[in-house]
Structure 1
Amino acid sequence: MLAAATSFFSRTAISQSYNIGAGNASRSSTPTPSGSSSPVSHTSTARIGLWKVQGAVHKVTNKRVSVWSLDKRVEMEGLGPLSRDHVLEVLKAEATALSRLRHPSILEMVEPLEETRNELIFATEPVLSSLEMSIPRKSSHTPIVELDEIEIQKGILQLCKGLSFLHSSARLIHTNLKPECIIINDAGDWKISGLGLTIPLTNADGTPTRWEFPGSDARVPSYVQRSFDYIAPEYALDETLVTASDIYSLGALVYAVHCKGKPPFLNYGSLGSLRDNVGRPVPDIGQLDTDLQDLLRSLLTRSPSNRPTSSTLPSHPFFSSLPISTLNFLDRSNFTTKTREEKISFMKGLTGVLNKFSEGLKVRKILPSLLEEMKDTHLLPYILPNVFAISTILSAVQFAQLVLPSLKPLFTVKDPPQNMLTLLDNLDMLQSKTEKVVFREQVLPLVYNALESEHAIVQERALGVVPNLCETIDYAEVSGVLFPRVALVFTKTRLLSVKVATLATFLSMVKVLDQINLTQKLCPLLSKIRTKEPAVIMATLSVQEAMGFKIEREAVATLVLPQLWAMSMGPLLNIEQFQRFMSVIRKLGDRVEKEHDQFLRDSQRIEDRSALANGVNLPNLNSGVDFESLVGRANTTTRAEVFDDHRKSWDDDVWGPILNGGHEVSTPGISAVTPTPQVSSSQASAPALPAHPQVQSLPSSPRVSAAAPLPRPSRLGAKPVPATSIEKPAFSTSTPLGTISSIGRPMRISSPPSNPQHGTSFSNSSSAMSKPNYNISFSDVMLPASSTPSTSPPINPAPNYNSFMLTNSPSVTTPPSMGSMLMPMQPTKLVAPSKPVTKDDWGDFDPLK
């Protein structure tokens, strides 16, 4: 309970308000450039003199600070009462001076000093390290902050400003200026600290301050004592209080920075050694720059009056380099007083000298100043190139924390247009420095706003970055957002250059978009082009050509090629452009022909396999036409005409009587044709039919077996044709028919033998292909209406189908039908059957099957 109570009462306001030791938060907010070490105060505990320095974050405001604390029990262990009191007095005086003195070159205090029984604690601005920890020494030593010559020069000038403030405004002499008392903050600025031993030039009543002996006690920490290695000789030897003493200490500090932390003279805390070294020249400066040598000689002189003052020191040639002049111009106190024209000229020249600065200096010093000046939109076109040049050395996390928050408001600023042009030119870097989600949500709106800009040059530049975006962002974003916005620009623009740029963008998007978007969106969009400008037409041709080799052949044939033919007739095209159209049309046409031909062949192959699987014997399509049929057909009608005539004859002669009441129809006025074709041996052996002067009869055919199905050309998905079908009759007329087809398939029909004594008749075919699927013979003679029935014997007495022609009205006639050789040309008279029809007379005929 006692320990808990002691801990409660030892708590301070700083420990209650801040998360002390929040190194991750501090480091993430103040990233260091790649290749440099992380600041100790942000990752662990730093030691600056007797102080323990830790990073901290305010619990409410998230403000970052550095907390300085002293553990009395640890740091003062072994000290006597007087030494202990002296140490506490100096440390408290230091914190009090920091809270009282306010200057950009003096360490800024954020939370005042608090003292508990065991601790001294206060908070300052975030710091990186002390100069003592950043001076490069041995090769094994890794400095906290890497210092180059420009940063050293900049830091010395900042110290000059701080000393000038102490000497002229605060009327103080530091008397303890050394590397441990110089602090480097997170912006890379050098700040004066260690103010616990300052001496005022005058007392409160205006009288001169009494001189203090610079004693050295080995039992007391050196941090709270004046160092004999950096003290001015006039102060130690002449007991004089002058501001020039701090200038001598500054010269010793400059020497140590350039000579690996070694002061010009090692006095070991002895006045005798200090007295001996005063008259010696500055050692080991031959390897230094000439201007630096001259500066050190003027600072480390014995006479205070020969030294430059803190106000005149910045004009020394050592500080006249272009980078130093650049930093001085960019300093807040100077830059705010410059005119806009001067600022623009400065920003234009800054790009050329950035490579002379170290990475740390660019990130910690130059970049924050540039980001602060981005509030003036008229300076943005000149500031942004420098910002992006520095951003190249940043990691993605650093860029997202330091730069992106300042750039995000600019993505919607459309005027002046140079802002968007600069941002679009650096879009690749923006994409590489941001995560995919951040880029889509925060950076892509820049491209969308640029596409909606009123300035053509901005739209063209935005269209120019779209191709790379299509290959790097998600396809859903391309097809759902980016492509519709580009299409909107294409539809609304009236500028020829923007229209052509949009078509070039479409060309690059063809390889990314799928067939659905190309067919359903891009093709209709291109079909609305009405301009005859060759630039637009040729750009459209390139898009259509690329699209024609990606979409389906049906779309090429119906959407692409018609438009290309129409556009090729443009009156403003020259011969080369027209030939280019013809070349593309031929290539796309060849593609359509080849693919569709292959498609039809594949479909036919599938049909044939399906027919074979269903047991259908396909006709031999490759069988030729015999010479006899070929020669005989040459003097007659065409194949199509013969087929048409026979089809109509079949309809009239077979189905006509059935559908007209079952009466036999006589054909008056038609005389039988009696050709005399050459008869083959197979035909001669066939039995001849009895002659009848006025009748053309259908031949009797044997019954077709169901085991031998009638051949039929297969269709996709068609079923085999039954054997009893009457769909494929074989006809034999007085005219040689040659080859006819059934539903588009050729069928060979031989010319039947003819009897010169008889009329034209149908005969049995010698093969299954030419045999009809019926067994019918009309035996009764069809007589004209004006004549009486003939007494001649019937052509084929059995079976008799005359009963099929019975009717109650003898006067009923059948209307004539066109295109048949057997068709009556006049109204006919129905004739009564000669004998009754029996069941056997029907045979296997089924006209409805």
Structure 2
Amino acid sequence: MLAAASSFLNRSAIGQSYTFVSQSGSQTPPAGSSKSVATVPTFHVGLWRVQHAVHKTTGRHVSVWSFDKRSQDVDKLRPATRERVMEVLKTEATALSRLRHPFILEAVEPLEESRSELTFATEHILSSLALSIPSGPRSSALVDLDEIEILKGVIQVGKGLEFLHTSAKKIHSNLNLQTVLFFISLQGDWKLGGLGLTIPLTQPDGSPTRWEFPTWDSRIPHYTQRSFDFMAPEYAIDEQLDPSSDMYSLGCIIYAVHVRGNPPFKNHGSLQSLRDNAGKPLVGMEKLDPDLQALLKSLITRHPTPRPSPATLSSASVFSSLAISTLNFLERSTFASKPREEKIAFMKGLKGVLDRFSDGLKTRKILPSLLEEMKDTQLLPSILPNIFVISSSLSAQQFASLVLPGLKPLFAIKEPPQNMLTLLDNLKLLQDKTDKNVFKEQVLPLVYNALESEQPLIQEKALGCVPDLCDTIDYAEVQSVLFPRVALVFTKTNILSVKIATLKCFLSMVKTLDQTSLTQKLVPLLSKIRTRVSSSLATLDVQEAMGLKVDREAVASLVLPQLWIMSIGPLLNLSQFNRFMEVIRKLGARVEREHAQHLRDSQRIEDRSTSNVNSTPLPFSANNRALDFESLVGTKGGIATPPTAPDAVPSNSSWEDDVWGSMLGESVETKAVSVIRAPSSQSLPASPHNFSAPPVRASTPRLAAKSPIPPQSSLRTTTTLDSRPSFTIPPPPMAGPRPLSPRNLSPPSQPSKPNYNVLMQPMSPQSGSTVMSPPLGSMLSPSLSASSSGQSFNNILLPTPAQSNWGTQKTNGDWARDFDPLA
């Protein structure tokens, strides 16, 4: 059956023009709905199946009503009865197309009939009253009704009945809950429907309409029969056609809504039960409001005379509360015609009574009326606060579909300024109710337009929103869009409060901006600020935060100089000056710490590089002597290499290198010295007369101690023009080691300065006298010794041996004079 219905709808004009979304969540939820479209089920009103649909071109939401002629409820009927049921359904559809009233259901598409279907479309309805009765047997919780909304709906139905009685000259005659003829629209209004059994008060010729005897057949669908539970006694008993009969039925509906859907009297389709219950007192009203009890007693009466008319219904005391009066004043049919001054006064007072209404009523009834009035920009300062109060209870999806489209055009309107101030005050709500991308594309322009305003109050309000935005929007938006706009306000404004507000924005941006922007853009901006106490202290906070993020060079060269200049401002007191000093010391300590570490790191790298260079092998000869260019390229025969002692042991004393290197005027690393060790059995007592020079580290192997050096006179030194000085060591004598003494050494040929190249020998145990070592110059290796005439080698002039009497023993004074390096 459903497949056939869908097939027909696709072939009909309505099916081709509308998209049915009752079973799909891809469409926008209907305004005022507490749930999304995907959760709003298709429901039934009597024999009608109601589906939600959206026009493919205009996007208008409608409700499509369809009836299947082949349904079991109709197929089992006799042809005459079936024809009667079809006539009632067609009359209802056509009556809705002819009648136009705010509280009568509006037909959007006329009735279409085929072999198997009856179809028409009306304005979109959210639910039926039978499905919305609090704690009712058929309640679907689609709409949660409260007392205010029920009373307001009763007034709307009364206005619909007034139009039906006075203008259409008809009696409804079928108001009841079973047929569910009250509808709740998108705007929270109650709509009057079920017009298939209306009775005209007069015939086309002007004569009164003849009364028809009421009947009830359980085999016929209830929707096409008048219910005896809601029928007025005068119609069944007195055979009268009176418009007041509809007011009796309305009273029964009010009673049933408050008593879980139960009518005041259950007649079970029996005319006799209806006659028996007529005029009986109402029961079960003890918990109802006294004013509501009085209204029900005036409507549910045996005779129509004491009943209020639809025009006087709203004057009952139960409808005199402030909440009901507020909804009546906001009625769209009358509110548009009220003067602007009354509208402004109403909107200002509305915010104080909104808490008396349920969230559903505010969303379905009040919010749509407010959104319609937003076309008048002069009313916006009074309307917007109420809209944001209602929006706080909306879901993000509802806010995006209901409120945001109406607010978006206001983001660029700068006059009156109160509009933008109200929008900025509720920027957090806008951000919470919108998606991140939607907020960036549609809401952030509000802040940008406010920053460009000529009103300082608006600029200051917009700047106050920036710190929160920096924590929520992405880095690129802050870096490329928000920061330049705030900087532009900073450079142009002359208002101190706005200037301070921009500094607070900069403080919040420091953690977001990169070092380049801080150094190249923000620091120059801060340098232009004039010295005032409030602005300088705000600048100090920015400089402190920025000084902890930029590099030390920027702190030392840009930040600290500005702080020093500002710290000596004439308007600062002692505590404020101390605050500047605290920041200056803090940033200065950072510069000192980081730069010292930088220098230590640089020195470490430099030392490591030098060590690597010195450890690189150079073109040295076998005895570690540097080669000259001619020897390196092979034009000479090379350098003579002295014999290597097998047991030479190098010294490990760096002090020796320093002392003897300085005395020789040569670098220990580049000038190798061969030193002959004395026998280990000999020792020299420590005394001023017995000075024993520490051994010099030799780069070349030393001669073994068991190969004594002959006297200086026996050393034959040969020097040629083509070769370097060298000497030949004669073979040692066979008689064993011979101790060296001044008597064994020949004195120098010419006098000179005191000889520093002296190596002292241990004291002779036989004579007790000091045995002097030969001049150190005579013990150098041939490649490093110089001639007695002061011949230089490797650009180093070695001192000649001192003129002294080596054959005699020196006194303390003579030795000290000859050895004194300062003589």
TM-score greater than 0.5 by the shorter chain: yes
TM-superposed deviation, 1:185: 1.8
Tell me which residue corresponds to 2:51.
Answer: 54
> What pairs with 1:395-406 in structure 2 (closer than 5 Å)?
395-406=395-406
Alignment of 1:797 with 2:795, yes or no, is: no
Superposed displacement of residue 223, structure 1: 0.6
- Asked if residue 65 in structure 1 is aligned to residue 62 in structure 2, the reply is yes
Which moved further from structure 2: 19-28 or 409-418? 19-28
* Separation (CA, whole Å) in 2 of partners of 1:318 and 1:207: 39
Relative to structure 1, the CA distance from residue 24 to residue 394 in structure 2 (aligned partners, 3 Å threshold; closer, same or farther) is: farther
AA at the equivalent of 1:54: Q
Task: Say if 1:192 and 1:8 are closer, same or farther in 2 by CA, change over 3 A.
Answer: closer
Could you say which residue in structure 1 is the equivalent of 2:254? Answer: 254
In structure 2, relative to structure 1, the CA distance for the partners of 1:226 and 1:139 (3 Å cut) is closer
Deviation digits for residues 445-484 of structure 1, max 9, x if unmatched?
Answer: 1111111111111111111111111111111111111111
Structure 2 counterpart of 1:369: 369
Taking structure 2 as the reference length, the TM-score comes to 0.75
TM-superposition CA deviations, 1:326-369 (whole Å, max 9, x none): 11111112211222222122111111211221221111111111
Kept in 2: contact 1:24–1:43 (CA 8 A): no
Aligned to 2:356: 356
Relative to structure 1, the CA distance from residue 683 to residue 228 in structure 2 (aligned partners, 3 Å threshold; closer, same or farther) is farther
Aligned residue in 2 for 1:314: 314
Return the alpha-carbon distance in structure 1 between the equivalents of residues 528 and 511 of structure 2. Answer: 22
Say whether 1:341 aligns with 2:341. yes
Distance 1:546 1:798, change over 3 A: closer
User: CA, structure 1 residues 685+65, in 2 after alignment: closer, same or farther (shift >3 Å)?
Assistant: closer
Distance 1:539 1:167, change over 3 A: same
2:97 is the counterpart of 1:105: no
Partner of 1:593: 592
Cα deviation for residue 9 of structure 1 reads: 12
Partner Cα separation in structure 1 for residue 170 and residue 281 of structure 2? 29
CA 1:7/1:374 → structure 2, altered by over 3 Å: closer, same or farther?
Answer: closer
Q: Deviations over 1:92-121 (max 9, x none)?
A: 111111111100000000111111111111
Q: Label 1:9 to 1:479 Cα distance change in 2 as closer, same or farther (>3 A).
A: closer
Contact 2:90–2:196 (8 Å) recurs in 1: yes
* Residue matched to 2:622: none
Q: 1:125 to 1:550 in 2, by over 3 A?
A: same
How far off its partner does 1:520 sit? 2.0
Asked if 1:569 is matched to 2:561, the reply is no
Match of 2:538 in 1: 539
| 3-state DSSP of counterpart to 2:130 | helix
Give the drift of 1:60: 2.3
1:660 is aligned to none
Instruction: Report the Cα distance in structure 2 between the residues aligned to 1:447 and 1:682, rounded to whole angstroms.
Output: 96
Residues 608 and 84 from structure 1, CA distance in 2 versus in 1: closer, same or farther, beyond 3 angstroms?
Answer: same
Match of 1:146 in 2: 144
Which residue type is aligned with residue 116 of structure 2? Answer: N
Map 1:352-431 → 2, pairs under 5 A: 352-431=352-431
Residue aligning to 1:92 = 90
Structure 1 gap segments, 5+ residues each: 629-642, 651-679, 687-701, 709-754, 780-795, 806-849
Change (3 A) 1:69 1:502: same
Query: Is this contact kept in 2: 1:292–1:318, CA < 8 A?
Result: yes
Question: 1:342 & 1:594 partners in 2: Cα distance?
Answer: 70
Alignment-derived partner of residue 164 in structure 2: 166
Q: Deviations over 1:767-794 (max 9, x none)?
A: 99xx9xx9798x9xxxxxxxxxxxxxxx
- Residues 26, 378 of structure 1: CA spacing in aligned structure 2 closer, same or farther, 3 A cutoff? farther
Cα deviations across residues 185-214 of structure 1 (Å, max 9, x unaligned)? 222211111111111111122211111111
- Give the 3-state SS of the residue equivalent to 2:109 in structure 1: strand
State how 1:152-551 maps to structure 2 within 5 Å: 152-179=150-177, 180-529=180-529, 531-551=530-550
Counterparts of 2:389 and 2:472, CA distance in 1? 23
Partner of 1:740: none
How far off its partner does 1:600 sit?
Answer: 2.0
Q: How many matched pairs?
A: 665
Percent of residue pairs identical: 62
Shift of residue 503, structure 1, vs aligned partner: 0.8
3-state SS of 1:112 partner: strand
Q: Cα deviations across residues 62-106 of structure 1 (Å, max 9, x unaligned)?
A: 222111111111141100011111101111111111111100000
Give 1:240 shift: 0.7
**1:29 match: secondary structure:** coil
Spell out the pairing of 1:627-666 with structure 2 (5 A cutoff).
none
Aligned counterparts, 1:113-124, within 5 A: 113-124=111-122
* Structure-2 separation of matches of 1:97 and 1:164: 16
Contact 1:22 1:57 in 2 (8 A): no
* 1:437 positional shift: 0.9
Structure 1: distance between partners of 2:281 and 2:329: 35
Equivalent position SS for 2:267: coil
Tell me if the contact between 1:279 and 1:302 (Cα under 8 Å) persists in the aligned partners: yes
Distance 1:159 1:380 in 2: 31
Aligned in 2, Cα 1:200/1:575: closer, same or farther, shift over 3 Å? same
Encode CA deviations 1:143-179: one digit per residue, 9 max, x unaligned: 3321110110111010010001011111111011112
- Distance (Å, rounded) in 1 between the aligned partners of 2:444 and 2:58: 31
TM-score of the aligned structures, taking structure 1 as reference length: 0.73
Residue segments in structure 2 that go unaligned for 5+ positions in a row? 617-651, 667-686, 703-747, 760-775, 798-823
Decide which moves more: 272-281 or 330-339.
330-339
1:496 partner letter: L
Q: Bigger shift: 373-382 or 98-107?
A: 373-382
Output the amino acid matched with 1:797.
S
| CA shift for structure 1 position 598 | 2.4
CA change 1:463–1:78 in 2 (3 A) is same
- Partners in 1 of 2:26 and 2:370 — Cα distance? 22
Instruction: Provide the rounded CA distance (Å) in 1 between the counterparts of 2:50 and 2:612.
Output: 91
Structure 1 residues 28 and 797: CA distance shift in structure 2, 3 A: same
Following TM superposition, by how much is the alpha carbon of 1:549 offset from its aligned partner in structure 2, in angstroms? Answer: 1.5
How much does 1:591 deviate?
Answer: 1.6
Q: Specify the SS of the correspondent of 1:107.
A: coil
The 5 A counterparts of 1:672-711 are 681=688, 705=699
After TM superposition, the structure 1 stretch with the greater mean CA deviation from structure 2, 605-614 or 188-197, is 605-614
Q: CA distance change for structure 1 residues 141 and 339 in 2, over 3 Å: closer, same or farther?
A: closer
Query: Which residues in structure 2 correspond to 1:596-635 (within 5 Å)?
Result: 596-612=595-611
Q: Distance in 2 between matches of 1:102 and 1:406?
A: 28
Seen in structure 2, the aligned counterparts of structure 1 residues 194 and 797 have a Cα distance that, compared at 3 Å, is same
Encode CA deviations 1:691-747: one digit per residue, 9 max, x unaligned. Answer: xxxxxxxxxxx9984899xxxxxxxxxxxxxxxxxxxxxxxxxxxxxxxxxxxxxxx
Query: 1:131 and 1:141, CA in 2 relative to 1: closer, same or farther beyond 3 A?
Result: closer
Aligned CA distance change for structure 1 residues 139 and 509 (closer, same or farther; 3 Å)? farther
1:745-771 CA distance string (max 9 Å, x none): xxxxxxxxxx9x989789569999xx9
- CA RMSD, 1 decimal: 3.6
1:27 deviates by 6.2
How far does residue 140 in structure 1 lie from its aligned partner after superposition? 8.8
1:10, 1:117 within 8 Å by CA — same for their partners in 2? no
Q: Which amino acid aligns with 2:496?
A: L
Moved more, 177-186 or 450-459: 177-186
Give the AA of the match of 1:547.
M
Query: Contact (CA 8 Å) 2:30, 2:37: kept in 1 or not?
Result: no
Q: In the TM superposition, what is the alpha-carbon distance from 1:438 to its structure 2 partner?
A: 0.8
Asked which structure has the greater RCO (Cα within 8 Å, sep 6+), the reply is: 1
The match for 1:15 is 15
Aligned equivalents of 2:148, 2:367: Cα separation in 1: 16
Contact 1:23 1:55 in 2 (8 A): no
